[in-house]
Chain A
Amino acid sequence: MERMTFDLASSSLTEMNTFLHKGLEEGDKRHISVLNPDGAHNIAVGLNHPVTVEIHGHAGYYAGGMNKHARVVIHGSAGTGVAENMMSGSVHVKGFASNGAGATAHGGLLVIDGDAGLRCGISLKGGDIVVGGSVGSFSGFMAQAGHMVICGDAGDALGDSLYEAVIYLRGNVKSLGADAQFEDMTDADYATLAELLSKAGMDHDPKSFKRIASARTLYHWNADANQEY
């Protein structure tokens, strides 16, 4: 497999991103190493080919943002909005992730080995997120579709205003958000969860997780519109 290296200490981020968009052929599967990321923002955003990008160090905001097809591995921690609006492929953060991890992801798999900050999986639209550690408050806010697996604990207002996304939580939650509720796990849930844990390389018993989903009482905000007194 073809390999190449970008050293961000000596070449510019724009040069690298432009190459990743325009310098690759359809279906290119090469392996790209990014050295000295030094927390730069917007590393490997808008990928559109099945390449592997390994970032050796910490990444700033939006690493792997809007990813399609590619596999991005961050050997370090990631700033705000890692893998935001991902469509497919995967992003794996070996360290910790900041706020809004996996925000609005439509597809693909985001794995965070450590903890994630506030609003993890906000407005999730079909992507899957597996967090090895804990997540901050307001995680899963308005999440529409997809799954969030939280192996540690969750902060306040977990799953506030949930639509159809499902959250699996192993630890404790400080509080559930409006319209979020605990539900019984079904066989389908165990199967989905086992598959996600296996893909993420996390060795937990699915039986140790609880399911959180929408009570759907906010779906029709004007449910009382016809009341007359």
Chain B
Amino acid sequence: MDIKPVSFKRVSREESASFDRSTIDYIQNAAAHGLYEIRGMGAKRKLPHFDDLLFLAGSLSRYPLEGYREKCVTKTILGTRFAKKPIELDIPITIAGMSFGALSANVKESLGRAATAMGTTTTTGDGGMTPEERNSSKTLVYQCLPSRYGFNPDDVRRADAIEVVIGQGAKPGGGGMLLGQKVNPRVAKMRTLPQGVDQRSACRHPDWTGPDDLAIKIQELRELTDWEKPIYVKVGATRTFNDVKLAVHAGADVVVVDGMQGGTAATQTCYIEHIGIPTLAAVRQAVDALEDLNMKGQVQLIVSGGIRSGADVAKALAMGADAVAIGQGILFALGCNSETYIQDGKHISALEGYDALGTQPGFCHHCHTGKCPVGVTTQDSVLEQRLQPDVGARRVKNYLKTLNMELTTIARACGKQNVHHLEREDLVALTLEAAAMARIPLAGTSWIPGHNGY
């Protein structure tokens, strides 16, 4: 007798939630290669974020200001605690630290020119300071990283502020990574490494361990610069409340907190998606720490990690940040993940380049390969020509300008003559998660989960 197996139409094509196609693909890749995945950019998973907050603008109970006519101050001063020469920004939006090595020299020049035009700062990254960046950026923050690649006292003296990097939101607890294909002769020379070597920078500083040592290290940088330059301390968001307190204890003028949406040019996916906390939770903890120490206003807070729009900037400021730093948003502004690149005013298709990387515009995270189809995250002498500094500078300037207009528009709607007057009271949360993390009431209620015994 012929017995047919019973067929259930519904389950014959049912995808497993735990072992979906993406997970199966991951396992099969691991099985084939015996290696973890490495990629660029930040966390791709959905996280509670600034999108989950809304502003309560002016109405009868609050008085709004006219959208773009009435005065709204955006000036921001960083480093007022100890530095003789604090940093004065025209807008509270800075460009995050990204290395020469990860980015091309053309890109670094574009960033410097855009930042100078908008009255804000750029920040060097792992691998040292390039003349392109120093010459184009009026106000430049120089990072002191664990690797100390290309770190030297002349550049410390040339910088306008120093940022001691403890960690990065994309990979707290991890050092940098620059694969051999991006270590061209110039990058190799700047980092004192053989050309083409896969380079992994250290995750700990070589000459200090712990917050008490850091206090002495910061004092060294102050002595070296005759107490003139602000010293920032940057942490990847994890135990943010404690880390910010320790950074303040160690003598930071400015604390930079980078949430897990923050990007990287290359790191293991398991880091990007599974280590650190969302920016939203980190901002609140950082502000709590400063308030707990009665240091709000004395030590400034810069927040980064997934800041995209003027609304994001406004929400970060309302939660208590003094400024934000943007990395990935700036790359997208330059043309990252765009279908075309611009050469002398003409758009040229980059689709072949994406295809070669096995991806498409909108999904690309292949910064680690150095084969950026639009010439942003590359050290390849042909590809890097695809980003012309004039074009890059103009696009980044436009982006920053747009963010600043959105920021002031929101601030005015909330009745503020100064964007730094935005406050937590202006915000409500859309989701329970955001309400709990940001400690901001759920819209239409006074409920903050975990607060006041609820």
Question: Can you list, as one digit per residue, whether each of A1-32 has a CB less than 8 Å from chain B (1) or not (0)?
Answer: 00000000000011001100110000000000
Question: For residue B225, which residues in chain A have a CB less than 8 angstroms away from its CB?
Answer: 46
Quick one: closest B residue to A118, CB to CB?
B209
In the bound complex, CA of A122 to CA of B194 (Å): 18
B34 touches A224 (CB 8 A): yes
Chain B contacts with A in 138-171, Cβ cutoff 8 A: 147-148, 151-154, 156-157
Partner among A18, A125, A163, A225 whose Cβ is within 8 Å of the Cβ of B197: A163
Chain A contacts with B in 191-229, Cβ cutoff 8 A: 219-222, 224-225, 227-229
A61 touches B216 (CB 8 A): yes
B198 touches A85 (CB 8 A): no
In the bound complex, CA of A143 to CA of B43 (Å): 32
Chain A contacts with B in 44-80, Cβ cutoff 8 A: 45-46, 48, 60-62, 65-66, 68, 80
Question: For residue B223, which residues in chain A have a CB less than 8 angstroms away from its CB?
Answer: 13-14, 17, 42, 45-46
In the bound complex, CA of A144 to CA of B207 (Å): 16
If the complex has contacts A42-B220, A142-B202, are A17 and B152 also in contact, measured as CB distance less than 8 A? no
Number of B residues whose C-beta is below 8 Å from A?
A: 36
Question: Can you list, as one digit per residue, whether each of B117-154 has a CB less than 8 Å from chain A (1) or not (0)?
Answer: 00000000000000000000000000000011001111
Question: For residue B6, which residues in chain A have a CB less than 8 angstroms away from its CB?
Answer: none
In the bound complex, CA of A84 to CA of B146 (Å): 13
If the complex has contacts A22-B226, A163-B193, are A229 and B31 also in contact, measured as CB distance less than 8 A? yes
Decide yes or no whether B180 CB sits under 8 A from chain A. Answer: yes
Decide yes or no whether B192 CB sits under 8 A from chain A. Answer: yes
A80 touches B208 (CB 8 A): yes
Most central of B153, B157, B213 by chain A CB within 10 Å: B153
If the complex has contacts A14-B227, A85-B152, A123-B148, are A103 and B197 also in contact, measured as CB distance less than 8 A? no
Main secondary structure of the interface of A (DSSP, over half): loop
If the complex has contacts A125-B148, A220-B198, are A229 and B32 also in contact, measured as CB distance less than 8 A? yes
Nearest CB in chain A: distance from B170 CB, A: 19
B156 touches A66 (CB 8 A): yes
B34 touches A227 (CB 8 A): yes
Decide yes or no whether A92 CB sits under 8 A from chain B. Answer: no
Decide yes or no whether A37 CB sits under 8 A from chain B. Answer: no
A61 touches B193 (CB 8 A): no
Nearest CB in chain B: distance from A175 CB, A: 20
B35 touches A80 (CB 8 A): no
Decide yes or no whether A134 CB sits under 8 A from chain B. Answer: no
Nearest CB in chain A: distance from B411 CB, A: 40
Partner among B31, B32, B192 whose Cβ is within 8 Å of the Cβ of A126: B192
Top 4 A-B pairs, shortest CB-CB distance: A46-B224, A81-B207, A66-B153, A104-B148
A-B contact pairs, 14 of them (CB 8 A): A42-B219, A42-B220, A45-B223, A61-B213, A66-B224, A80-B208, A85-B152, A123-B202, A125-B148, A125-B192, A144-B192, A221-B198, A227-B33, A229-B31
Q: Which A positions have Cβ atoms within 8 angstroms of B?
A: 13-14, 17-18, 21-22, 41-42, 45-46, 48, 60-62, 65-66, 68, 80-81, 84-85, 87, 100, 103-104, 106, 119, 122-123, 125-126, 141-142, 144-145, 163-164, 219-222, 224-225, 227-229
